[in-house]
Amino acid sequence: MVHYLSVCAIFKNEASYLEEWLTFYELIGVDHFYLYNNNSDDDFASVLAPWVARGRVTLTGWPQHPGQLKAYGHCIINRRRESRWIMFVDLDEFLFSPTEQMLPKILAGYERSVGVGANWVMFGSSGHQTRPPGLVTLNYTRRAGLAFKAAEPELLLPGGKPDNIRHYRPISTHIKSIVDPRQVIQVASPHSFGFAGGALAVDERWQPITGTPLNAFTAAPSIEVLRVNHYFAKSLEEYTAKLTRPRADSGTSYPVRWFLEREKRSNELVDETILPIARQVAAKLGV
């Protein structure tokens, strides 16, 4: 096996964010990146060229639309013997351990599992109307509480009433997955996978992830060992630009009202947990 921990991601027009994202993950122990380019027309190639030359990135053109789940499937089928673990995250997601341990050290403790799910932590604009200079992980330090709920269909509890917000799961019960690719038999969603023999992934507390749609949610969020800082919207300017890029999983886009509704709740707490790693990234990039 060539790699211990790899990342698989699909991207479109993310050139200005790639360097920070790649450097962040490299610093916390990711060995390799399987990246799928979904019809980008920005300067991603010049950003990735040094990474490809160093053997850190395997770049695949992926014009399918929507293409996320098929890209993930392609990665599982073709790379399952190359990496002990593969993490599936987006370019606006930074999965790390708040203990400041390297990810391989954390994952060594989960070797008996087929996969580990890490919960989302939803970050807002931090008051930025336009894109600020510098790193995403340094600029956006305000987030929603873990109990924050939104009326999204996939979050509705069984038998719940769509017009009652109390009948929804918190957004932070969403997971992103790190899996043993040799055990995967299905890409169930951008968040979750099916495993051989009906095995279940676990959360950071070793609780099986089950009993929810596509096993893509935990019973409750827990972010003591692993977490995913999700900078979905960033500034209003960046979110507006994002609307021109349909989602990789469904081909649709979120409306501006999505940003405005969640913005009210997504900046309630200051959270600087990621800053020690972010400062290392800044030092390495000279920004």
Residues 232 and 230: their CA atoms lie apart, in Å, by 6
Nearest Cα residue to 81 out of 153, 151, 190, 184: 184
**Predicted pLDDT of residue 242:** 75
Query: What does the block give as tokens for 190?
Result: 């951008």
- Sign of the torsion angle spanned by Cα atoms 63, 246, 181, 4: positive
CATH topology of domain 3-285: Spore Coat Polysaccharide Biosynthesis Protein SpsA; Chain A (3.90.550)
**Predicted pLDDT of residue 240:** 80
**Predicted pLDDT of residue 243:** 73
**Predicted pLDDT of residue 246:** 63
Query: Mean pLDDT per segment of 10 residues, for the chain of length 287 residues?
Result: 96 97 99 98 98 98 94 98 98 98 99 99 95 98 96 92 96 98 98 98 98 94 99 89 66 69 87 99 98
**Predicted pLDDT of residue 252:** 66
